[in-house]
Structure 1
Amino acid sequence: MKNTDLGIFILRLSLGVLMLLHGIAKLIYGIDPLIGMMDQFGIPGFFVYGVYVGEVIAPIMLIISYRTKIAALLYVATMLVAIFLAHPADILALTQSGGWAIELQALYLFGPLALFFTGGGKMALSKASKWD
């Protein structure tokens, strides 16, 4: 039995909830460490507020499947920034057990990328546009 829409729903829900937990932590504990990291790269500190878009707003959009493709792109952009700013040395590295050093970040990157191409499925709130 094949149920692609249920699979997309599970992917949307799991990616949304898992990233939203990161966003909630930043809402509770703040983003000051990220501002310092941005300063090290010469990026103005106010750009760090984009983390709320990528870790709170985009995950909520995925969970309810409102403009899934836009939410997925925001999520992907957030992960690209996280990988290139926080884990640049790990991009080509393997762990002692042979796994990719950024495998978790890669899952958070490629999962929403897949959703960009599939859309939100039939269980989506917004189904009437190309950005579902």
Structure 2
Amino acid sequence: MLAKLNTTFTRVTDHPDFGKLLLRLTFGILILFHGVAKMENGVGWIAKMLQAAGLPGFIAYGAYIGEVIAPVLIILGIFTRPAALVMAFNILVAVLLVVAGKFFTVTEVGAWGLEGEALYFFGGLVIMFLGSGRYSVMKNEALR
């Protein structure tokens, strides 16, 4: 009986392309919020951190690529794999610049100090490995 119930449930819920769309929309929209904040408030504070680390400040403008352009591409399903890699790299740079000190911390509720950042980073990698799936604005597979 359980096997039949599981088989029925699997048949009803077996929609990997919809799952890929939901994953893309979730991560793309959530990262895009960060990008909108950068567009409203600028990236000057990031440039200062980069310069303090001995790096050129203009690299801060890469946040627009990783938090605005890449998420939009991911949402639309265009160049999804490279865009997801850019998004994951962007999160990695943000962690190294801003919150690396939380690596060995645990919050009051038992969460890892970098839990949210890890979720975005690995989410980007998952999207990169899965690709856009069927639901994309591009029909040409080479552009998805």
Partner letter of residue 132 of structure 2? G
| In 2, Cα distance between equivalents of 1:108 and 1:55 | 11
Q: Which has the higher helix share?
A: 2
Q: Which has the larger radius of gyration?
A: 2
Structure 2: distance between partners of 1:116 and 1:7: 14
Equivalent pairs, count: 131
Partner of 1:100 in structure 2? 112
CA distance in 2, matches of 1:125, 1:117: 19
2:71 maps to which of 51, 59, 84: 59
1:128 aligns with 141
Opposite residue 136 of structure 2, the aligned amino acid is: A
Given residue 28 of structure 2, which amino acid in structure 1 is its aligned partner?
A: G
Aligned equivalent of 2:60: 48
Give the counterpart letter for 1:11 in structure 2: L
- Name the CA distance, whole Å, in 2 between partners of 1:32 and 1:18: 22
Query: What residue ranges of structure 2 are gaps of 5+ in the alignment?
Result: 1-11
Which stretch has the larger CA shift, 107-116 or 85-94? 85-94
Task: Name the Cα RMSD after superposition.
Answer: 1.2
* SS, match of residue 87 in structure 1: helix
For residue 125 of structure 1, report the CA deviation from its aligned partner.
2.8
1:38 is aligned to 2:26: no
**C-alpha deviation, 1:92, in angstroms:** 2.3
Q: Which shifted more, 5-14 or 117-126? A: 117-126
Q: Between the two proteins, what is the percent identity of the paired residues?
A: 37
d(CA) in 2 for partners of 1:67, 1:85: 27
The CA deviation at 1:12 is: 0.3
* CA distance, structure 2, for counterparts of residue 83 and residue 113 of structure 1: 16
Cross-structure match for 2:30: 18
CA apart distance, 1:100: 0.5
**In 2: Cα distance, 1:92 partner to 1:69 partner:** 30
Calculate the TM-score normalised by the size of structure 2.
0.86
Question: How far is 1:18 from its partner?
Answer: 0.9
> Aligned residue for 2:9?
none
